[in-house]
Structure 1
Amino acid sequence: MNVVLIVEDEPLEREFLSIVVRDELLPEDTVLTCESGVQAIQLAKQYRPNIIIMDLMISELDGLSAIQEIRKFLPNSCISILSAYSDFSYAQKAISLQVFEYLLKPVKPSAFKEVFHKMMEASSNRGVNFEDKPKELSLENKDDRQYFIEESIKFIKEHFKEKLTLEMVASKVFVNPKYFSHVFKKEMGVAFTDYINQLRMEYACRLLETTNYQAYRISYECGFSDPSYFNRVFCAKMNMTPKMYRKYAQTLKQNDSTCMINVDVNMNNTPHLQV
Structure 2
Amino acid sequence: MFSPLILWLDFVDKDRRSGFRSGLSGHYRVHRIHDMTVLPHAVGELSPDIICFDFDYPGPSELALLQKIKLLHPSVPILMLTENHSTELVIWALRSRVWDCLLKPVSGGEIGRRLNLMLPVLDGNNSQCPRNVFMPGRGTLKPSIDSGTSPKDKTCKVLPYLAAHFHEKVVLSDVAHICHMGTCEFSRTFRREQGMTFRDYLVRLRVEAAATILRNTNSSVLDVACSVGVNDPSQFSRLFRRHMGVTPTAYRKRGSRATRVEIDVTTGIGGQ
TM-score (norm 1): 0.40
Which structure has the higher relative contact order (CA within 8 Å, separation 6+)? 2
TM-score (norm 2): 0.40
Q: For the pair shown, which has the larger CA radius of gyration, 1 or 2?
A: 1
